Structure 1
Amino acid sequence: MKILPYKNLFVGITDTLNNIFFEGKYADKEVERTLKSNKLWGARDRGFIAQTVYDLVRWKRLVEGAMSRPLSKETIWEFVGTWFALDPEQKLPAWEEFQKVYPKEILKRHHESSKNIAVAESYPDWMFELGQAALGDRWLEEVHAMNSQAPTVLRVNTLKTDRKTLQKALKDRGVKTNLLSKYQDAIELEEKMNIFRTDEFQNGWFEVQDAGSQLIAPYLRVGPGMRVVDACAGAGGKSLHLASLMENKGQIIAMDLYEWKLKELKRRAKRNNVQNIQTKVIEAKTIKRMENTADRLLIDAPCSGLGVLRRNPDAKWKLQPQFIDEIVVLQEKILSEYSKVIKVGGLMVYATCSILPQENEQQIEKFLANNPNYKLLSEKTHYPSETNYDGFYMALIERTA
């Protein structure tokens, strides 16, 4: 992206990066906050800020390898300048903040540091080694795929409209989209833009949901009139999808530990005209009371998120090795406890947005070994390198006795 030589844009970029790297803030929330802070910025300005921030978060380690000093609050301008200096066709503005950015030295340091493949691909050593140990040669393919920009995909709310009607309505607003043939409710934007202000979004015609994520709800084989439990619902993207597949008939019990997430789900459900979702905060005896009551169960389990690093590149720098060990233990506990919710003959889907076998196939192997009254019907890992979308795992399991 060509540099826009306006200092207030760079102030926005450096402030945002400071909050992400040194204050522990999430990249998507900080970019949103920054873009809302100046109403005079036009679409090109906003696009420049957003893309530059995400590029620098994604390629943080590669840029650090080319710097003359470690990244800190004091060197954040050098960090930004180094990123642009890595492209010989870019010319930095002659501002005081960039006076110590020397392109020739930067390119020399970059050449040397990039001999380490973890630096060249911009991953922490521990994460790169973990992925390589788990996936072998495939890991490098996934690393390449997850270092590209994530597309924006919409899920059509079939309770209110259909894909072609939505596509035409967006086209009339100058928003170009493509139908995705392998994803029954998905439309992909040709260019990134803010579509949350459109009447179509405000009227609940669509939600933003990655194409990979859109495969999980249909995998559960729900139908109108069923009693379905979404055990880790969060803000409810998959609950809403289940509701549309069930034609607003039956009951969905959307559960989460955090009430604020369920309040967001209620707000989204109202906009989507979804009327068959009941929210429930998970408490000590919640699962015990619900045993043998559900036709279907979705466990969209907490996970490392190592399948969605393209969408959440700051997770590369926030995750710690011990978290992986802890989350595997938690997943095993959730599977063991929540699986009792479904009736005999009922189905459940265990899903994660990770591509690590220890969170996926190996979890299911352990569960089935300890629970012979459950049977694996099918399982699938969707890899970013194969689909160009987020990475997900899902297993369909039947309770047989």
Structure 2
Amino acid sequence: MSRHHRQKNEMRRDVPIGTPSNTGIETTDIEAVEQEENLSFATNGLTPIPQQVTIKPAFVEHYKRLLGPRYDEFMQYSLSYITKSIRVNTLKVTVEELRKRMEQDWILTPVPWCKEGFFLKYRHYKRFDIGNLPEHQLGMFYVQDAASMIPPVVLDPQPGEMVLDLCAAPGSKTTQLAMYMQNRGVLMANDVSGDRLKPLGLNLQRAGIMNTLVTLRGNGPLNQGALLFDRVLVDAPCSGTGTIRRSLKTLQMWSPGLIHRLVAEQRKLIELGYFVLKPGGTLVYSTCTQEPAENEALISWFLARHPDAEVLPISLDIKRSDAIVAFDGETFNPEVAKCLRIYPQDNNTEGFFVAKIRKKDGNA
């Protein structure tokens, strides 16, 4: 389940490997999945995660309809370790300076779509937690999945602007936005959970962020339209099926009912974000799920409600998959083809969806 999803879920006891439970769930280990699904991790140089995994038959059926012949590869990557990545915080250090500090012990490979991002691998055999590095404690870099860097890059906030991060905690994208703004202008970092504001505040402090106002819910000034923003990021709570390799519980928690509830919340969030967006402004909607209902279908629904909204193309140096323009008998607005959809196997990252929307200013 995505790091964003905050609802409480009931946990069930493990059942014997391969034995169906009364909920229609099967629990097995990844080696068994490899054999049953005819997966070959070694083919792509992947290392399977040595844990039990819970897969619902309904999930398998649903994702085979969505992915077709790409389903096996999707599961290979989803059940394997992800390559670690970091983003240099240029408010504290230049990209080249940090690279020189780390290259003796780490192999750094640039992330093509984010000039501050690097995939990294430890040069030595002994395991080392990158979070313990002094450079991390000093806020010189943020440990962040490379796909997670995409939404702030696409939003492209500028110094001096008014920017809203509607679902900010724990702060990876917030700190990236503030970095691009060079600590100038105003960045409102909002979240709906007070418990999540503490780590957000700590991350902002460590990164040296000084232009950010942290708000809880922000319902008053936001719902009343008292504040308008040049750019808005809606990194929405989601079912997280692009992040299975970070949390195998995502497979266990997945259900059509969960998706239905999340879509209702996502609709409210994108509506609020668009409401406080200035004419001529840009909104980026993103999720780390592969579900069409939470992505292309939601954007299609949104466009039907807002004739003044236009989807902008996203140009990045990244391998992408085609956006979903029809699924399960539903045809979406053809403009959703401009959205960015990536699966874990496309770039060996998390899966992500990003839509870039402009509010027409009346003169266009």
1:147-226 alignment runs, 5 A limit: 147-172=79-104, 174-191=105-122, 193-226=128-161
Using the TM superposition, give the Cα deviation of residue 287 of structure 1 relative to its aligned residue in structure 2, in angstroms.
Answer: 2.2
Within the candidate set 350, 353, 361, 1:393 is matched to 353
1:1-400 alignment runs, 5 A limit: 24=11, 64-65=17-18, 114=36, 123-172=55-104, 174-191=105-122, 193-282=128-217, 284-290=219-225, 293-378=228-313, 379-400=339-360
Which segment is superposed worse, 299-308 or 262-271?
262-271
Q: Which runs of 4+ in 1 moved over 6 A?
A: none
Distance 2:282 2:37 in 1: 49
- Going from structure 1 to structure 2, the CA distance change for 1:261 and 1:122 (only over 3 Å counts) comes to closer
Using the TM superposition, give the Cα deviation of residue 331 of structure 1 relative to its aligned residue in structure 2, in angstroms.
Answer: 1.2
SS of residue paired to 1:285: helix
Distance 1:367 1:197 in 2: 43
Unpaired runs of at least 5, structure 2: 1-8, 22-26, 40-51, 314-338
Using the TM superposition, give the Cα deviation of residue 283 of structure 1 relative to its aligned residue in structure 2, in angstroms.
Answer: 5.1
Q: Which residue of 1 aligns with 2:332?
A: none
Distance 1:159 1:24 in 2: 42
SS of residue paired to 2:146: coil
Distance 1:212 1:295 in 2: 24
- Going from structure 1 to structure 2, the CA distance change for 1:115 and 1:351 (only over 3 Å counts) comes to closer
| Larger CA Rg, structure 1 vs 2 | 1
Distance 1:330 1:23 in 2: 20
Distance 1:308 1:252 in 2: 27
Using the TM superposition, give the Cα deviation of residue 251 of structure 1 relative to its aligned residue in structure 2, in angstroms.
Answer: 0.7
**Contact 2:160–2:186 at 8 Å: present in 1 too?**
yes
- Going from structure 1 to structure 2, the CA distance change for 1:23 and 1:325 (only over 3 Å counts) comes to closer
Distance 1:284 1:162 in 2: 37
The alignment yields a C-alpha RMSD, in angstroms, of 3.0
Distance 2:229 2:142 in 1: 26
Q: TM-score normalized by structure 2? A: 0.76
Deviation string, structure 1 residues 278-301 (Cα, Å, up to 9, x no partner): 101115434223456100000001
- Percent of counterpart pairs with the same letter? 30
Unpaired runs of at least 5, structure 1: 1-21, 26-59, 71-78, 87-109
Greater RCO, CA 8 A, separation 6+: 2
Distance 2:56 2:189 in 1: 36
SS of residue paired to 1:212: helix
**Contact 1:121–1:144 at 8 Å: present in 2 too?**
no
Using the TM superposition, give the Cα deviation of residue 373 of structure 1 relative to its aligned residue in structure 2, in angstroms.
Answer: 1.4
Distance 2:285 2:152 in 1: 11
Distance 1:234 1:258 in 2: 9
**Contact 1:127–1:321 at 8 Å: present in 2 too?**
no
Q: TM-score normalized by structure 1? A: 0.69
**Contact 2:187–2:211 at 8 Å: present in 1 too?**
yes
- Going from structure 1 to structure 2, the CA distance change for 1:115 and 1:246 (only over 3 Å counts) comes to closer
Instruction: State the AA in 2 paired with 1:149.
Output: Y
- Going from structure 1 to structure 2, the CA distance change for 1:165 and 1:367 (only over 3 Å counts) comes to same
**Contact 1:227–1:294 at 8 Å: present in 2 too?**
yes
Instruction: State the AA in 2 paired with 1:64.
Output: I
- Going from structure 1 to structure 2, the CA distance change for 1:319 and 1:357 (only over 3 Å counts) comes to closer
SS of residue paired to 1:264: helix
Higher helix share: 1
